[in-house]
Amino acid sequence: MTDNWEHDSGEATAERAGHAVTKKNGATTGGRSIVIKGGTVVNRGGAARADVLVVDGLVSAVGEDLTGDEILDAAGCHVSSGFVDLHAHLREPGREEAETITTGTRAAALGGYTAVVAMPNTEPAQDCPEVVAFVKARAAEAGWCDVHPAGCITVGRLGKVLAAFETLASVGVRIFTDDGNGVQDPLIMRRALEYSRHLGITLAQHCEVARLTEGAVMHEGQCCSAMGVPGWPAIAEELMLHRDIELVRLTGAPMHFLHLSTAGSVDLVRRAKADGLPVTAEVAPHHLALTDELLRGFDPVFKVNPPLRTAADIAALRAGLLDGTIDAVATDHAPHAHHTKQMPLDSAPPGMLGLETALGVVLTAVSPDPVRVVETMSWNPARIAGIGAEHGRPVARGEPANLAVWDSSRVWTVDRASLASKSRNTPFHGMELRGRNVHTLLRGRVTVRDGIAQESGDARSIGSGGGR
């Protein structure tokens, strides 16, 4: 895959894609009513045809032949609670050349998300209330979706000293991780779990025994042997997962496992759940769809941590997602500036974009029923993130109107140049996906209409593309 475009700002990307770029505030429809018309509403009981009336930020009715001041056409679409991403790298503060909170959350809204958990591997790291407050303020100013910063488990994500959980919890942090790094020291992890239990927070582990992945570039297997590059063995993930499941058994504290990528990991989580342990797990869309064979061309766009694995791993992950072993699809949206992904495979950073393609990849690669889509992309992640009072709610009268309207049969070809993210490192460029988000509402305000990001409900396309 060759790149023949220049790196540019997110605003320019949005311009090409026809997305509005100016900011918007206000969380309600200002008394105006919106009817989402002709869609199929997805709730726990199943999917049923109904219109949805939204007034002043809330769902005010679900039923037939509803009318309102404004109509959002949902014919042929599903209407559900907005998606919640447990795992997004928004890069601000520190690496704004790759993404900003504005560009990342705009991409999230376009993907159907109304809330994202922002990973703490920012610079400085999200290990203190000041950085958390900064991220929240920038997100509120941008207004595309709710952002819940994850706190660090250890100071600076260095694995040595526990972060101030209580202080961070007091400013609303509910989920803690050193993502990008696994917590290597079992004593630190044990203590972290013991404290977390008392505080009612959840720890999320990036499972990787670092000693086993030193210098690793891709999955350890036939493909990496043939290419002659160092491999990242499945055991490096599974060993830490096994250790932490046992620490959960010891402490009784809940734990969430990030971006699981191997068949062995699915088995470990399945057994832990059968034992009644309070564990949850997520899978990233790319691990459901792409294999390590894609690395044969040495293209760093396919480099990610944990790495793309084998067809057998994909089959196990898909099965785990469908049978409930894996609770959530989380994007691990990891933007990287163009010049960094142009480096040789061994020195390029790992990571892939995910927010705008997640729904399409899940529908194309796994094809779950709509209820399972919403369960794994909205209800379960909202609960795991501790934001279930606002997000992942039923589409029902009186509930917050945080909604996604998506077309599961729309076929589209991913074009990295038209994504809203500031970076271009999508592994799905040129691939055809079936399923795309169409409209998104955040507390009743239309953030995305007909696939175009909005300002205060008024489409203001500034580019030539005119959206989708």
Nearer to ligand DOR, 98 or 438 (CB): 98
Could you tell me the smallest distance in angstroms from the CB atom of residue 299 to ligand DOR? 15
Could you tell me the smallest distance in angstroms from the CB atom of residue 154 to ligand DOR? 15
Q: Judging by beta carbons within 10 Å of its beta carbon (0-12, 13-18, 19+), is residue 171 exposed, middle or buried?
A: middle
Could you tell me the smallest distance in angstroms from the CB atom of residue 103 to ligand DOR? 15
Could you tell me the smallest distance in angstroms from the CB atom of residue 314 to ligand DOR? 17
Query: Rounded to whole angstroms, how far apart are CA atoms 368 and 450?
Result: 24
Q: Which residues form the interface with ligand DOR (CB under 6 A)?
A: 89, 121, 179-180, 206, 304-305, 332, 334, 349-351
**CB neighbours of 406 closer than 8 A, spacing ≥ 6?**
77, 78, 80, 112, 359, 435, 436, 437, 438
Nearer to ligand DOR, 76 or 230 (CB): 230
Could you tell me the smallest distance in angstroms from the CB atom of residue 242 to ligand DOR? 19
Nearer to ligand DOR, 89 or 393 (CB): 89
Could you tell me the smallest distance in angstroms from the CB atom of residue 255 to ligand DOR? 17
Query: Rounded to whole angstroms, how far apart are CA atoms 283 and 417?
Result: 26
Question: What is the token pair recorded at 449?
Answer: 């209409």
Query: Rounded to whole angstroms, how far apart are CA atoms 183 and 379?
Result: 28
Q: Cβ(72)–Cβ(393) under 8 Å?
A: no
Q: Cβ(118)–Cβ(147) under 8 Å?
A: yes
DSSP class of residue 307? P
Nearer to ligand DOR, 309 or 443 (CB): 309
Terminal Cα distance for the chain, rounded: 24
Nearer to ligand DOR, 35 or 216 (CB): 216
Nearer to ligand DOR, 213 or 440 (CB): 213
Q: For residue 219, which of 180, 265, 269, 261 has the smallest C-alpha distance?
A: 261
Query: Rounded to whole angstroms, how far apart are CA atoms 189 and 191?
Result: 5
Return the H-helix or E-strand segment holding 373: helix 370-374
Nearer to ligand DOR, 89 or 422 (CB): 89
Return the H-helix or E-strand segment holding 430: none
Which of 332, 369, 415, 458 is catalytic? The answer is 332
Could you tell me the smallest distance in angstroms from the CB atom of residue 191 to ligand DOR? 23
Active site residue 332: yes
Question: What is the token pair recorded at 142?
Answer: 């941008």
Residues 418-437 as b/e (b if ≥16 CB within 10 A, e otherwise) read bbbbbbbbbbbbebebbbbb
**Catalytic positions, please?**
332
